[in-house]
């Protein structure tokens, strides 16, 4: 049997692995790829269990009454096209839209964006990266001129001496990445004592939603103590004076009262970042999934720039992308306001360039659409196509999202399993899996990788590219379903854009263990490290922007006295549609557990293992309690891999990124009697 080198289907590390088809199972082995260096996590080791899983969708399904029945592809396509025509004739083009996933290959993300804007002529498209990286991306674009999560390879992290990790838990979410922190003195900012925090040199436990105040407080100390790099600020940045004025209000005593982090620890962290370098600052969803997430990311960017870290060897600022293709997925047209190459949809030059590649008039392109939550809750949306996303579980205020999905005239879901979202669909399309198709992915470093086909899909299963091509044909537009052909077009469409893939080919990826974008020509080496000499802004300098702490959109009160924050467990991934079906992972963690401090539990008569009901202004969820002194006494943690947690979360949107406030909402907690509703 032929062995195929490919990549893990889960997180944005995109660890290298080798698949060998054998009877009766596919053999999966880690390989020595630059990112994982021969390591895999439990999810990666068990990824092949998905390929022949008994729950696998093997044929199209169509709605019959309150259930679903098997159907032919022709019947499924006929129903979809009829629904599209009917909705657009009655309600207009924007009544039909699509919602994509951060696990789609670059080719599929590109094809989906093109399908909506060319075949449907609709502006209604967004993807679940809006719920993931949008705040960090917005801050990076406005400050640095470019959004590439890590502007340096992971190997550079190992060269740092001090690393500040804000709102991330890589020891559980990305275990192979922890090898790069060996030998560093890393500091963790997290309201929980996570596995990552347990191994840290220092752990700061702020109240959820106060990370911006903490960052401003660190910058205040850096300025007062003379830690800032005045020469770097003068040569390479603009806006420092306004930021320095803004952070005068964040003296250590006040920041301690706002965040709960002792003043001495604030001073210790500022000193380490400034004097025990090289130093890095890495942020992730814990800091960013708030109604002020963009400004919070900006505050840490301001700190990194003022200390002169960005663009220096083994130093800098980065954001940790979570989803498998969270980076590439936001570069090539899935987002409501973007065209391929990270171009803006409302930019006339961008429209002209991409329209020429697509063979249409620029005026035929729709304008920017609505962000994810806004689109999903807009009654004007009548028909929705969902690819590789389980929004009934993963979206905020999920009870409302479920009601909106049920109100649609027509819902189409393409997936490998019958997810909670697919159960609501009028048509369900069985999709090929990661090991059954070709394509490229872009990992958290900006390294473009090739995911290769190791075995064919089941006989009646199609790739998403084949589905989009056939729907386009039936709507009067010919498109290719061949991944390499689509990628060649993506190269032309991205040429000259921020995310320029023009010089990247399948062959180069194969030879060079991936290529870092931007890569404008085939003789260009790619760009592993950004910002060494300048920033891609009009002035060539990075922008510091003053930001002010605001309380979370929903604060605790007498009715809802505690703060709920959500996050990941090591054994599961995203909405759990895949990992909750893998025996090894479900045995290790069969159900969600709410982490509660013993003092809080005692107040409510809760023992370890009891069922508790968490309730917010939007809904309720019942979880089993896990008592731990590793969480603040005023905070409860719930994982989002199962239905429940997001029934509670607040959809208040960041004004810049339209990111919902997943990480902080007000809840009450009560003991739940087993067997009761």
* 154 in a structural domain: yes
Residue 113 lies in a domain: yes
Q: Does 217 fall in a domain?
A: yes
Which one, of 555, 566, 102, 563, lies nearest residue 289 by Cα?
566
**Angstrom distance (rounded) from CA 349 to CA 662:** 36
Q: Radius of gyration (Cα) for the chain, nearest Å?
A: 24
* Overall average pLDDT of the 117-123 stretch: 98
Q: How confident is the model at residue 677 (pLDDT cuts 50, 70, 90)?
A: low
| 403 CB burial (10 A radius; 0-12, 13-18, 19+) | exposed
Assess whether 254 and 314 both reside in one domain.
yes
- Return d(Cα 249, Cα 244) in angstroms, integer: 10
What's the CATH code of the domain at 276? 3.40.228.10
3-class SS of residue 519: coil
**Collapsing DSSP states into helix, strand and coil, what is residue 209?**
coil
What does the pLDDT look like over 521-565, one tens digit per residue?
999 999 999 999 999 999 999 999 999 999 999 999 999 999 999
pLDDT at residue 675 in the model: 56
One domain, residues 194 and 253: yes
pLDDT at 676 over 70: no
Say if residue 468 is in the same domain as residue 574: no
CA gap 345, 366 in Å, rounded? 8
Among the candidates 320, 352, 380, a domain finishes at 320
Task: Tell me if 68 sits within 8 A of 470, measured CB to CB.
Answer: no
Q: Give me the CATH number covering residue 657.
A: 2.40.40.20
Q: Is residue 352 part of a domain?
A: yes
- Of 3, 6, 1, 4, whose CA–CA distance to 440 is shortest? 6
> Do 265 and 309 belong together in one domain?
yes
Cα-based distances in Å from 11 to 15, 85, 668: 8, 37, 32
Residues 205 and 341 in one domain: no
- pLDDT tens-digit map of 378-411: 999 999 999 999 999 999 999 999 999 999 999 9
**Residue 247 falls inside a structural domain:** yes
Residue 473's pLDDT band (cuts 50, 70, 90) = very high
Tell me if 304 is assigned to some domain. Answer: yes
Work out how many domains the chain is built from and give that number: 3
pLDDT classification of 568: cutoffs 50, 70, 90 = very high
Same domain for 150 and 256, yes or no, is yes
d(CA 279, CA 159): 9
- Give the integer Cα–Cα distance in Å for 63 and 534: 56
**Sequence-separated (6 or more) residues with CB below 8 Å from residue 58:** 430, 458, 460, 461
Residues 581 and 656 in one domain: yes
Could you tell me the maximum CA-CA distance found in the chain, to the nearest angstrom?
70
Q: Angle at CA 130, nearest 5°, toward 127 and 133?
A: 125
Question: What range defines the domain where residue 194 resides?
Answer: 134-320
62-66, 249-253, 307-311, 485-489: lowest mean pLDDT where? 62-66
Quick one: 340 and 408 in the same domain? yes
Residues 296 and 346 in one domain: no
- Give Cβ neighbours of residue 282 (< 8 Å, ≥ 6 apart): 157, 163, 164, 165, 166, 168, 317, 318, 319, 320
The DSSP H or E segment spanning 384 is strand 383-387
Q: Do 353 and 401 reside in the same domain of the chain?
A: yes
Q: Report the C-alpha gap between 301 and 296 in whole angstroms.
A: 9
Residue 87 in any domain: the answer is yes
Same domain, 376 and 312: no
Domain boundary among 320, 354, 387: 320
Statement to judge: residues 105 and 122 lie in one domain:
yes
| CB-based contact 647:622 (threshold 8 Å) | no
Model confidence, pTM: 0.96
Half-sphere exposure of 5 (CA within 13 A, CB side): 12
Residue 643 domain flag: yes
Per-residue CA distances from 524 to 368, 497, 520, 521, 619 (Å): 32, 15, 7, 5, 53
């Amino acid at each position: 049997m032929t062995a195929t080198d490919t990549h893990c289907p889960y997180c944005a590390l995109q660890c290298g692995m080798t698949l060998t088809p054998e009877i009766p199972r596919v053999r999966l082995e880690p390989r020595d790829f630059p990112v994982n260096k021969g390591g895999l996590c439990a999810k990666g080791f068990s990824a092949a269990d998905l390929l022949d899983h008994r729950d696998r969708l093997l044929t199209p399904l169509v709605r019959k009454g309150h259930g679903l029945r098997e159907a032919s592809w022709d019947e499924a396509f006929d129903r979809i096209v009829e629904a599209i025509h009917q909705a657009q004739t009655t309600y207009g083009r924007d009544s039909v839209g699509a919602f994509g996933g951060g696990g789609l290959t670059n080719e599929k993300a590109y094809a989906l964006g093109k399908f909506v804007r060319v075949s449907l002529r609709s502006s209604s498209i967004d993807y679940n990266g809006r719920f993931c990286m949008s705040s960090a991306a917005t801050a990076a674009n406005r400050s640095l001129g470019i959004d590439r999560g890590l502007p340096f390879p992971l190997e550079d992290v190992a060269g740092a001496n001090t690393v500040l990790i804000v709102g991330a838990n890589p020891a559980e979410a990305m275990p192979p990445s922890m090898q790069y922190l060996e030998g560093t003195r890393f500091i963790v900012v997290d309201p929980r004592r996570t596995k990552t925090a347990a191994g840290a040199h220092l752990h700061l436990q702020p109240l959820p939603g106060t990370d911006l105040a903490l960052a401003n407080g660190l910058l205040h100390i850096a300025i007062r103590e003379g830690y800032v790099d005045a020469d770097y600020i003068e040569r390479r940045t603009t806006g420092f004076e306004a930021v320095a004025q803004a952070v005068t209000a964040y003296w250590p005593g006040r920041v301690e009262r706002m965040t709960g982090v002792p003043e001495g620890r604030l001073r210790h962290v500022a000193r380490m970042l400034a004097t025990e370098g090289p130093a890095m600052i890495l942020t992730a969803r814990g800091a960013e999934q708030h109604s002020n997430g963009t400004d919070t990311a900006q505050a840490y960017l301001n700190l990194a720039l003022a200390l002169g870290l960005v663009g220096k060897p083994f130093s800098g600022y980065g954001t940790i992308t979570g989803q498998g293709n969270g980076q590439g997925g936001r570069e090539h047209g899935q987002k409501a306001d973007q065209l391929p190459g990270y171009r803006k949809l409302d930019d006339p030059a961008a429209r002209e360039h991409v329209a020429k590649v697509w063979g249409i008039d620029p005026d035929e392109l729709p304008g920017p659409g609505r962000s994810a939550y806004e689109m999903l809750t807009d009654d004007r949306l009548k028909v929705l196509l969902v690819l590789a996303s389980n929004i009934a579980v993963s979206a905020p205020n999920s009870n409302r999202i479920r009601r909106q999905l049920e109100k649609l005239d027509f819902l189409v879901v393409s997936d490998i399993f019958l997810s909670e979202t697919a159960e609501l669909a009028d048509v369900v399309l069985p999709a090929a899996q990661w090991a059954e198709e070709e394509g490229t992915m872009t990992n958290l470093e900006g390294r473009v990788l090739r995911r290769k086909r190791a075995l064919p899909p089941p006989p009646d299963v199609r790739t998403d590219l084949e589905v989009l091509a056939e729907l386009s044909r039936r709507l009067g537009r010919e498109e290719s379903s061949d991944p390499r052909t689509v990628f060649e077009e993506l190269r032309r469409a991205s040429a000259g854009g921020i995310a320029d893939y023009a010089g990247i080919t399948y062959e180069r990826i194969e030879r060079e263990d991936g290529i870092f974008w931007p890569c404008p020509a085939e003789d260009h080496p790619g760009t592993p490290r950004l910002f060494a000499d300048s920033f891609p802004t009009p002035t060539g300098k990075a922008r510091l922007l003053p930001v002010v702490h605001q309380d979370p959109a929903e604060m605790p009160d007498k009715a809802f006295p505690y703060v709920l924050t959500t996050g990941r467990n090591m054994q599961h991934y995203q909405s759990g549609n895949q990992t909750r079906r893998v025996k090894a992972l479900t045995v290790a963690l069969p159900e969600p557990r709410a982490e509660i401090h013993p003092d809080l539990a005692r107040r409510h008569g809760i023992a370890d293992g009891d069922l508790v009901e968490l309730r917010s202004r939007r809904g309720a969820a019942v979880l089993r309690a896990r008592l731990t002194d590793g969480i603040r006494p005023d905070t409860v943690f719930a994982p989002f891999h199962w239905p429940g947690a997001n029934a509670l979360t607040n959809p208040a949107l960041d004004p810049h990124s339209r990111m919902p406030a997943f990480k902080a909402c007000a809840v009450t907690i009560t003991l739940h009697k087993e067997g009761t509703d």
